[in-house]
Amino acid sequence: MAYFLQQLINGLTLGSIYGLIAIGYTMVYGIVGMINFAHGEIYMIGAFISIIAFLVLGLAGITYVPLALAVVLLTTMAFTSLYGWTVERVAYRPLRGSFRLAPLISAIGMSIFLQNYVQIFQGARVKPMPPLIQGGLTILESGGFAVRLSYLQLLIILLTFVLMAGFTSLIAATPLGRAQRACEQDMRMASLLGIDVDRVIALTFVMGAALAAVAGLMVTLYYGVVDFFIGFLAGVKAFTAAVLGGIGSLPGAMLGGILIGLIEAFWSGYFSVEYKDVSVFVVLILVLVFRPTGLVGRPDVEKV
């Protein structure tokens, strides 16, 4: 029981991170109808920028943890969003109206480019990050096994929750959110009614990148290591989360993320660590084959 609870906590933490990345996939898919394959790399760039920002703050002598965290969070989000915006501008916008697979191929190219860009300029070695937030709560103790919820895990889950709430209200209640929903339903009609579709799409990428940046920062803190290759697997898992929840749906992405995190945590807790990535791929394939609309998604009708 205690072990189960511990895996639950670990899974929730991991799931929050996947959920934040998954939102980027699901929003872009909902509006533009493409898989932003480079989104995993955006998250990786977020992780790198956060580690660099921590180092710079350390050199500047700012060591008060909450202040440092807030500053790093904002800088990381700002710079990573700029990356998200640029990727859309350079690799996707010129392709609107091209043949069906063109944006995906371009996205794969972008992903390879970003990965190697970071590898060349930051090195291929794993970047360590000393633990910043230590300590935690012991929730339960039974038979010599203590279930612990570290402050960091608490922070990750809470921050994700706050961001999700803010984000949902942004989509539901602001003019930008309304424009996004309009573009999702019918892009041409939206543009006829005076919505600047290019701007809406660009802002969607910016928002997705900002959330991925938060995920990158949290992973840096949580695992304490970052390398240029983390984006690939995290990207695939977050995409799986988006598909599992129902691509195009925001609550679905969060739900899918948490489910994927739980599946991964329980799989490595009870079965084998080696095959934990396989478990996620198997989930992806099963969902796509048996329930392609996901858990809360709408059926996708192909128009001729």
Partner 1 sequence: MAAASGLAVDERTGPPLPWAPLLKDALLAAVIAALLALPLVGLQTYDIGGGALGIATHFDWVAWGAAAVFAGRLALRLLPQFRTGRRGTGPTPVSRLTAWAGRQAVPITLAGIALAAALPFLPFSSRYLIDLGTTVLIYVMLGWGLNVVVGLAGLLDLGYVAFYAVGAYTFGLLARDLDFSFWEALPFSGLVAASFGILLGFPVLRLRGDYLAIVTLGFGEIIRIVLLNWASLTGGPNGIGGIPRPSFFGLAFARSAPEGVTTFHQFFGLEFSPDHRVIFLYFVILGMALITNVFTLRIRKLPLGRAWEALREDETACRALGINPTNVKLSAFAIGAMFGGLAGCFFATRQGFISPESFTFIESATILAIVVLGGMGSQMGVVLAAILLVSLPEFGRAFAEFRMLIFGAAMVAVMVWRPRGLIAHREPTVWLGTRRRAARIAP
Q: Contact residues for partner 1 (CB under 8 A)? A: 34-35, 45, 48-49, 51-53, 55-56, 59, 79, 82-83, 86, 90-91, 94-95, 98-106, 108-118, 120-123, 125, 127-130, 232, 236, 239, 243, 272, 274-275, 277-278, 281-282, 284-285, 288-289, 292, 302, 304
Of 207 and 284, the one with the shorter C-beta distance to partner 1 is: 284
Q: CB-based contacts of 16: which residues, under 8 Å, 6+ apart?
A: 156, 157, 160, 161, 218, 257, 258, 261
Quote the least distance from Cβ 128 to partner 1, whole Å: 5
Quote the least distance from Cβ 266 to partner 1, whole Å: 18
Of 124 and 146, the one with the shorter C-beta distance to partner 1 is: 124
Quote the least distance from Cβ 303 to partner 1, whole Å: 10
Of 59 and 188, the one with the shorter C-beta distance to partner 1 is: 59
Q: Cα(58)–Cα(11) distance, rounded to whole angstroms? A: 31
Of 73 and 236, the one with the shorter C-beta distance to partner 1 is: 236
CA of residue 274 relative to chain centroid, distance: 23
Of 113 and 266, the one with the shorter C-beta distance to partner 1 is: 113
Quote the least distance from Cβ 131 to partner 1, whole Å: 11
Quote the least distance from Cβ 257 to partner 1, whole Å: 16
Residue 302 corresponds to which tokens in the numbers above? 């192909």
Q: Which residues of 128-163 are buried (b: 16+ CB within 10 A; e: fewer)?
A: ebeeebeeeeeeeeeeeeebbbbebbebbbebbeeb
Of 126 and 172, the one with the shorter C-beta distance to partner 1 is: 126
Q: CB-based contacts of 57: which residues, under 8 Å, 6+ apart?
A: 68, 71, 72
Whole-angstrom CA distances from 210 to 20, 45, 47, 102, 252 are 9, 11, 12, 25, 19
Radius of gyration of the chain (CA): 19
Q: Are 75 and 49 in contact (CB under 8 A)?
A: yes
Q: Are 1 and 248 in contact (CB under 8 A)?
A: no
Quote the least distance from Cβ 32 to partner 1, whole Å: 11
Of 143 and 303, the one with the shorter C-beta distance to partner 1 is: 303
